[in-house]
């Protein structure tokens, strides 16, 4: 009798222990992005991950894959569609090839300033763009931020459109950007981010264009001599999840990922605000020649033929609606 009772107690203890172990086993979530952990992408990803883990009582363990560890942005988006990656933070550069409607936000000089851009992305227009992702096998949860894109190169300080003539400028794999730089007389070279530093070092390209947040986090002062604060395009960040993963979550878990994405988006904006305040001084301290005052009117005038094509592609009404947001 004693032996049976001892066996039963031991069995119950084993079953209880097994159940506890199962309850404590967190489901891994791969979260990937192109830049380093100490970038605005990393700030957004870490805030997103922290909220998800806490809000779900550690039902998930988010594994960070920064610095293009799982591939460039195109590969990350394809990974979401295939279900091999659960969550990503990406620019609109590669996204235009998957969700063409998103390309409208890459039109040069469309946004007056950061406040205008955030108002657009946080409002009906931004939500409408997020809704477009579902038709393309993606679920976009929030818009984060990179900041306004600026131009750097190793040839000369750029002050006017004429200075761009013949410059080999790396652009994202984005038809809107390619058209803009081609129209301005540059030689745009689409290239995935993991290849850019090497291409600059080897002289395959003369320059690139990115927000200060990228210039600083990637330490581009090591491979670039001149930076011009053109502010030619505002660059958001999309926080996206895989439908195969997201559709299998409970409602409470979905809410955790959605709320976490919004928190991550704000964290990326906070990071950008900090870099915008300190970045130019830091970049100058590394010997980069920075042109801070740029007359944008000649660039806008030179882009007139491109604007006609943008209006035909995205609709003049859409461009006007974005410009009209106060």
Domains of the chain: 26-324 (3.40.190.170)
Q: Per-residue pLDDT averaged across 279-284, rounded?
A: 97
HSE of 11, CA atoms in CB hemisphere, 13 A:
6
So what's the pLDDT on residue 8? 45
From 85, 107, 105, select the one nearest 241 (Cα to Cα): 85
Q: What is the pLDDT of residues 139-185, one digit of tens each?
A: 999 999 999 999 999 999 999 999 999 999 999 989 999 999 999 99
Q: How confident is the model at residue 24 (pLDDT cuts 50, 70, 90)?
A: low
So what's the pLDDT on residue 18? 40
| String of DSSP letters for 155-224 | S----SGGGGTT-EEEE-S-HHHHHHHHHTT-EEEE--GGGHHHHHHHTS-SEEEEEHHHHHHTTGGGT-
Q: Does residue 17 surpass a pLDDT of 90? A: no
So what's the pLDDT on residue 93? 86
Q: Per-residue pLDDT averaged across 119-139, rounded?
A: 97
So what's the pLDDT on residue 1? 42
CA atoms 183, 189, 191, 196: torsion sign: negative
The pTM for the full model equals: 0.89
Q: Please, is 161 exposed, middle or buried when counting C-beta atoms within 10 Å of its C-beta (0-12, 13-18, 19+)?
A: middle
Dist CA 303 CA 318 (whole Å):
18
Q: What is the pLDDT of residues 45-82, one digit of tens each?
A: 999 999 999 999 999 999 999 999 999 999 999 999 99
Q: What is the pLDDT of residues 202-256, one digit of tens each?
A: 999 999 999 999 999 999 999 999 999 999 999 999 999 999 999 999 999 999 9
Q: Does residue 20 surpass a pLDDT of 80? A: no
Q: How confident is the model at residue 188 (pLDDT cuts 50, 70, 90)?
A: very high
């Amino acid at each position: 009798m004693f032996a049976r009772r001892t066996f039963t107690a031991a069995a119950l203890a084993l079953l209880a222990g097994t159940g506890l172990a199962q309850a404590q086993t967190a489901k891994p979530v791969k979260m990937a992005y192109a830049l380093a952990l100490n970038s605005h992408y990393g700030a957004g990803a870490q805030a997103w991950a922290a909220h998800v883990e806490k809000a779900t009582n550690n039902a998930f363990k988010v594994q960070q894959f920064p610095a293009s560890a799982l591939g460039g942005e195109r590969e990350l988006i394809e990974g979401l569609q295939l279900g091999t990656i659960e969550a990503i933070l990406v620019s609109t550069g590669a996204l235009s090839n998957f969700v063409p409607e998103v390309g409208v936000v890459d039109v040069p000089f469309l946004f007056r300033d950061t406040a205008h851009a955030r108002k657009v992305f946080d409002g009906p227009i931004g939500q409408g763009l997020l809704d477009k992702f579902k038709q393309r096998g993606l679920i976009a949860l929030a818009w984060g931020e990179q900041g306004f894109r600026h131009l750097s190169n190793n040839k000369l300080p750029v002050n006017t459109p004429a200075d761009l003539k013949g410059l080999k400028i790396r652009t994202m794999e984005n038809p809107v950007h390619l058209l803009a730089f081609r129209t301005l007389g540059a030689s745009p070279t689409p290239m995935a981010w993991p290849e850019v530093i090497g291409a600059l070092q080897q002289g395959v390209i003369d320059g690139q264009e990115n927000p200060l947040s990228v210039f600083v986090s990637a330490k581009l002062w090591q491979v670039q001599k001149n930076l011009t604060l053109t502010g030619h395009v505002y660059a958001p960040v999309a926080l996206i999840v895989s439908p195969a993963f997201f559709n299998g979550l409970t409602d409470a878990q979905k809410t955790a990922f959605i709320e976490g994405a919004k928190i991550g988006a704000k964290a990326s904006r906070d990071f950008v605000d900090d870099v915008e305040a300190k970045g130019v001084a830091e970049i100058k301290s590394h010997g980069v020649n920075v042109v801070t005052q740029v007359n944008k009117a000649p660039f806008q005038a030179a882009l007139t033929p491109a604007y006609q094509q943008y209006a035909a592609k995205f609709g003049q009404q859409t461009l006007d609606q974005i410009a009209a947001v106060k």
